[in-house]
């Protein structure tokens, strides 16, 4: 009996050891998406009255947990019974990431460099609709995180996949929304330090630094997230599309892989962006 218990514990230890090893790989693969997730959710959670920021963020966080509870079992079922479909889903996710990255770059060039004015006909959404929009965005990003994490550990057993991918999904929710909670209240903490300290003291200067740093941090995360999305998309294409993989290794082997992934992700992203804009304009003209 005792030997059986020790055998079970030994099996659990091996499972956890394997899961820890592949979790590192999964985190490395999904880290760029987490960076973009952080930037997107920080923007989504901002813009509310100070007294509503944390309650709204808590609602979005609960929605994110529900999203993971839906996505994870479906992902594991696909992995167990139709594992061949993971690669096409990864490629679709890559197309979405590349498109998002290209769209952000296009908007930056259009409005910041070419100085084209923004569309002023913006719809003002209620708090509830903003929360639903944030949860929907989280659902899309969660699919990407889970599928990319799953794609990184597909060669391992299903039990290892479940432990590793579930941990990454939990980290994505707790880590991202924990940091977002700090960011959305960072300016309030800074103002509190300024109010409760004498001018010119370290406490006062640190408070001013916190207030002034917040928009810079959000912009920095947005830039890093955009670059990361394009790189991840390019990596998905080069690893899962045989023609592109051979193009990278055989024809363009002199290029660093990170540069190849960047060019590939940007090129495909702009193609998808142009197609989307073309069909969207046709649709809008008809309706």
Q: pLDDT of the chain along its 287 residues, tens only?
A: 444 543 443 444 444 454 555 555 555 556 556 666 666 666 666 656 666 777 888 888 888 889 899 988 988 888 888 878 878 887 888 888 888 888 888 888 887 777 776 655 555 557 777 788 778 777 877 887 888 777 777 777 777 778 888 888 888 788 788 887 887 778 788 888 888 888 888 888 888 888 888 788 877 877 877 887 788 788 888 888 888 888 878 777 788 888 888 999 999 999 999 888 888 766 655 65
Per domain, the residue ranges of the chain are: 2-286
How confident is the model at residue 266, as a pLDDT?
92
Which pLDDT value is given to residue 86?
79
Greatest C-alpha distance within the chain = 76
Judge contact between 172 and 32, C-beta under 8 A. no
Contact 173, 68 (CB under 8 A): yes
Q: Which residue has 């920080």 as its token pair?
A: 42
pLDDT tens-digit profile of 119-164?
A: 555 555 577 777 887 787 778 778 878 887 777 777 777 777 788 8
CA distance 139 to 72: 11
Tell me, letter by letter, the H, E, C secondary structure of 1-21: CHHHHHHHHHHHHHHHHHHHH
What's residue 6's pLDDT? 39
Residues sharing a CB contact under 8 Å with residue 256, sequence separation 6 or more, in sequence order: none
| Inter-residue contact 56 to 48 (CB < 8 Å) | yes
Distance of CA 102 to CAs 54, 107, 142, Å? 32, 9, 20
pLDDT confidence of residue 286 = 63
Angle between helix 50-81 and 127-152 (nearest 10): 30
Q: What interhelical angle do 202-240 and 257-286 show, nearest 10?
A: 90
């Amino acid at each position: 009996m005792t030997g059986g218990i020790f055998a079970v514990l030994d099996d659990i230890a091996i499972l956890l050891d394997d899961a820890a090893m592949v979790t590192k790989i999964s985190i490395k693969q999904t880290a760029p998406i987490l960076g973009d997730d952080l930037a997107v959710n920080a923007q989504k959670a901002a813009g509310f009255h100070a007294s509503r920021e944390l309650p709204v963020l808590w609602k979005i966080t609960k929605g994110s947990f529900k999203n993971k509870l839906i996505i994870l079992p479906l992902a594991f079922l696909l992995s167990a019974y139709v594992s061949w479909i993971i690669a096409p889903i990864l490629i679709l996710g890559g197309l979405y990431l590349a498109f998002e990255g290209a769209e952000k770059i296009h908007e930056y060039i259009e409005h910041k460099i070419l100085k084209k004015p923004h569309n002023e006909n913006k719809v003002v959404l209620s708090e509830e609709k903003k929360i639903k929009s944030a949860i929907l965005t989280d659902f899309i990003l969660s699919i990407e995180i889970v599928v990319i994490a799953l794609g990184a550990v597909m060669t391992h057993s299903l039990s290892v996949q479940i432990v590793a991918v579930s941990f990454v999904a939990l980290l994505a929710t707790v880590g991202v929304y924990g940091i977002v909670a700090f960011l959305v209240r960072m300016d309030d903490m800074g103002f509190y330090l300024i109010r409760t300290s004498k001018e010119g003291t370290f406490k006062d200067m640190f408070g001013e630094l916190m207030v002034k740093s917040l928009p810079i941090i959000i912009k920095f995360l947005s830039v890093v997230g955009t670059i990361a999305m394009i790189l991840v998309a390019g990596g998905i294409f080069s690893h899962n599309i045989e023609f592109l993989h051979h193009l990278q290794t055989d024809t363009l082997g002199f290029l660093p892989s990170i540069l190849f992934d960047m060019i590939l992700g940007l090129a495909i992203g702009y193609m998808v962006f142009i197609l989307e804009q073309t069909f969207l304009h046709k649709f809008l003209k008809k309706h």
